[in-house]
Structure 1
């Protein structure tokens, strides 16, 4: 009889969901499966020019069922289903959705199936910029600083800004909405057969970093904070949550319905969910004062520190500091960049325009050949750009870029900001522009490290996980050179899912603490990028130019917004 115990870690990313079955004895991956969201791939319910990015709950459900069944089928271990003891989930965030009293997302109810406002509002959706600005202005009126644990600035990427925007934008959704739920809270609720939104176990991670929950406030800010911001928010605090749960706790057991659908037992324990970066930091074997950078479409930067060592210290301009959001009993601090891999994807898309718009419609070759050529070239663009950019001669006057193509997350959230490229000349070719964009993303990372250090929180090293960390030696070496510190790259392919598996093992009581699960199930690091001292002077000079360019763009943005506000005020007075 096989006495080995297994768990499943599920990682919901921006484009896909991946599940892994992990051996709890040593963290070895038994099998994995990735499912790309079908509706999302078609661009449904999204409008990039409006910063609207929505995802249908059916994409999440279909991916959940497919990847778990696929993992079990691929495992090659007889009767493995009976040896699976726990499941835990991480998701992007803040990615909330409107639900009815039963906790069902409105997009799964009659009349709302195709309504984007009834769907999950993806983390990078910035339709709530106006609402975030109003929250920041409103919070300044209160004696208690309710933004103190989220870096002092509320972002349009977060819970309350998105809720208020949806309530204002859609009367039908507003009338049908009972509560507002994070993706990482809904999946465990779904798997455990929840039927009452008020009984949903809310993640400490999500609530503390994005929804203004704090131990000092005994929960959320008071009702008057929200109702005086906008009467549409009246009553929501009561229908949300007071208590939160760390991810080493159980959200319940697998329901009979889902046990039957997945071929598992109702004895399987479902852990409380959390955000991908926070569980990824655990999977990446984070250490105190080491910054774990989860590098994908965006970055999320996680640092943990003993609570008593940072007692009373608040870091301004980050995405919050929450006791237990990463490792229970330890302070978790979050920062990040709104666009990282998305910057390279944007440039790739620009370069691919002739392929998708001209070659796709050519009559010189058959459609199958054209499609194959497009796919081959697109798959090689970033690799070839990286190789050619690495061979470019160093220059003090090289092209310079800002990485704010999707606004700025940290330090000091401002989703109104835009990207920029300067120093262009007739010799500026694709590799040179790519180099500038790569430098910009690394300079954005440095600005985060500098903020932590300036606020008295040391950064002793960097741990890299995620797609860019694993696949781009060029960018990782550049980042090590710019940060002037080594970067260790974690070995596990799906590190966020491994972190979820570690929490699943803890929730299922296979390990008493997540720290012990990390030791037993951690798989170590595959390589380290050491900084090149010879490049220190060049990058320091470029970074100074980056900050100057950023300051100029911020001034221009503020002036534009001020002019726009004055014009709107004048129009209102005329009416």
Structure 2
């Protein structure tokens, strides 16, 4: 028997999964929570400004040291049965590092410098830089801008690099590489520096094998063209082997030296083979703290507000498209943590259920529209199709009769409306969306999933695995190790999906069509135009906290 290990590095923890290569059976798993979590308020003595979100790279190494051996023990297999390892990461999560991969934040003298740390995907403090990236590109007629739906996000790699350049030039200069975490972890495991095709294309502005020109980078800020050397490196094809596990990492992980280390990947994109969606027409939504939407197509077209279109970015030989929502599970978690009355929390505790479960039970006991609310799902900004991190959440229609479960349901519906807007954007551009496939932690809420089916007016397929990104990483590891010839063959053997798990109800579809029209009205009123109210409010907050 041969097995592979897939490791999914998420926002708050890393999960290792042991998978049999012949049929995708999940034999064992282990999770390690990051000791530093998300660093978004305080770094040592330094209070971080609004919209910051950092991580600590030692937390990622602890996943390798703790979760990998624990997953093997849980599986009851011998380490010598492992033939490969694959990793995926949240993205864009870049970090400044030396050429040998040493993170700048671990170099003496840099531990207290915020810009020396990795910037998590949800770090949104580079919006000013993203605005300039987009404006200068539009003014210069840069052809690559259309590949990103006309706008680069503040979440992506270059916007964050420009923020470091402008706010801590010494940190920028000291970094020999500005590297995605997915590539950094592969370098730690194999000793080989490669840019994976997914992160490089979607997050790093690499198109047709090239970065934007030095003249463009200089137009952003004199001297910023130096970023190109920090970004450059050979690009590894998804599913290929970056190299073999080093002797040092064999000791750390307990795995055999020399086993295949797959080229890194993005958590959303690596999920496609786990749900047998390596072909065209299936939009895969990885629904967790945020939602990423990925979709293969045979041809390249411009889709407004998308995160990118990359040749081979998901599956070799096809154009891979990405869109996303910056906040989904994060919005619901924020509401439960900060907005729910103590009486509701007590009742949930007394009944032995989660607050989420209690709010769902109450909220969906009422007819569609009974709460009288419509919301915008922009508490973390808008990733698609407006591409604006300065937008914020909104709930309209509240009265003295409004209760917590009403708002909770309205927020869920808003995230479903946001997903529908993305689906419609693809279709309007001529990119077929024939199936909607869901994976991620939010699948546990059946009322939420049924709401999505009713809002979309489409059946929803769901991942069989509760750990689809880790399974996808394992599938890539199996290909890298030679157990399967390519990703599609490996997906057919190792992936699993339940077709049409949720089907739309005609009456609900009609009712939600009305709500969606209201959502679109708010979407355009608050998200388009000049001198937007939400921009002013965020600016006022930042100035007050400065």
TM-score tier (shorter): over 0.9
1:69 corresponds to which residue?
69
Specify the SS of the correspondent of 2:509. Answer: helix
User: Which residue matches 2:382?
Assistant: 408
> Partners of 2:296 and 2:151 in 1: how far apart?
21
Residue 502 in structure 1 maps to residue 475 in structure 2: yes
Larger Rg: 1
- Report the TM-score when normalising by structure 1: 0.88
Deviation string 1:114-165 (CA, Å, 9 cap, x unpaired) is: 4321111001111100000000111023243221211110110001100010
Aligned to 1:328: 316
Deviation at 1:511, TM superposition (A): 0.8
Q: Assess, with a 3 A threshold, how the Cα gap between structure 1 residues 491 and 191 changes in structure 2: closer, same or farther.
A: same
Partner of 2:212: 221
Deviation at 1:284, TM superposition (A): 1.7
Report the CA distance shift for 1:351/1:160 in structure 2 as closer, same or farther (over 3 A).
same
Alignment CA distance shift 1:486-1:16 (3 Å): same
- Tell me which residue corresponds to 2:180: 182
2:204 equivalent to 1:211: yes
Is 1:302 matched with 2:294? yes
The reply on whether 1:340 has 2:328 as its aligned counterpart is yes
Query: TM-score normalized by structure 2?
Result: 0.93
Q: How many angstroms apart in 2 are the aligned matches of 1:261 and 1:375?
A: 41
Structural RMSD (CA): 2.5
Give the whole-Å Cα distance in 2 for the aligned partners of 1:439 and 1:563.
Answer: 26
Written as runs of structure 1 = structure 2, the 5 A alignment for 1:44-443 is: 45=42, 50-77=50-77, 80-194=78-192, 200-215=193-208, 218-241=209-232, 243-286=234-277, 287-306=279-298, 310-311=299-300, 313-351=301-339, 354=342, 380-395=354-369, 398-443=372-417
| SS of residue paired to 1:264 | coil
Change (3 A) 1:109 1:355: farther
In structure 2, the CA distance between the partners of 1:555 and 1:465, relative to structure 1 (3 Å rule), is closer
Could you say what secondary structure the match of 1:300 adopts?
strand
Cα distance, 1:290–1:563 mapped onto 2, change above 3 Å? closer
Distance (whole Å) between structure 1 residues aligned to residue 41 and residue 410 of structure 2 = 32
Instruction: Assess, with a 3 A threshold, how the Cα gap between structure 1 residues 563 and 301 changes in structure 2: closer, same or farther.
Output: closer
Counterpart CA distance in 1 for 2:530 and 2:333 is 25
Distance apart, 1:175 and its partner CA: 3.3
Shift of 1:96: 0.2
Structure 1 517/565 Cα, relative in aligned 2: closer, same or farther at 3 Å? closer
Please tell me whether the aligned partners of residues 391 and 534 of structure 2 are also in contact (alpha carbons under 8 angstroms). Answer: no
Mapped to 1, the partners of 2:265 and 2:19 lie a distance apart of 19
CA distance in 2, matches of 1:341, 1:487: 18
Runs ≥4 residues deviating over 4 A: 41-49, 352-356, 373-379, 560-567
Q: Contact conserved, 1:293 with 1:462, CA < 8 A, in 2?
A: yes
* Partner-residue secondary structure (3-state), 1:180: strand
Q: C-alpha separation between the residues in 2 aligned to 1:288 and 1:386?
A: 34
Unaligned runs of 5+ in 2: 541-546
Distance 1:49 1:487, change over 3 A: farther
1:103 to partner: Cα distance = 2.2
Q: Separation in 2 of the partners of 1:400 and 1:123?
A: 28
Partners of 1:226 and 1:376 lie apart in 2 by 58
Q: State the alpha-carbon separation in 1 of the partners of residues 130 and 528 from structure 2.
A: 20
Contact 1:401 / 1:440 at 8 angstroms: preserved in 2?
yes
1:512 aligns with 2:509: no
Closer, same or farther in 2 for the Cα pair 1:538/1:515, shift >3 Å?
same
Asked if structure 2 preserves the Cα contact closer than 8 Å seen for 1:193 and 1:257, the reply is no
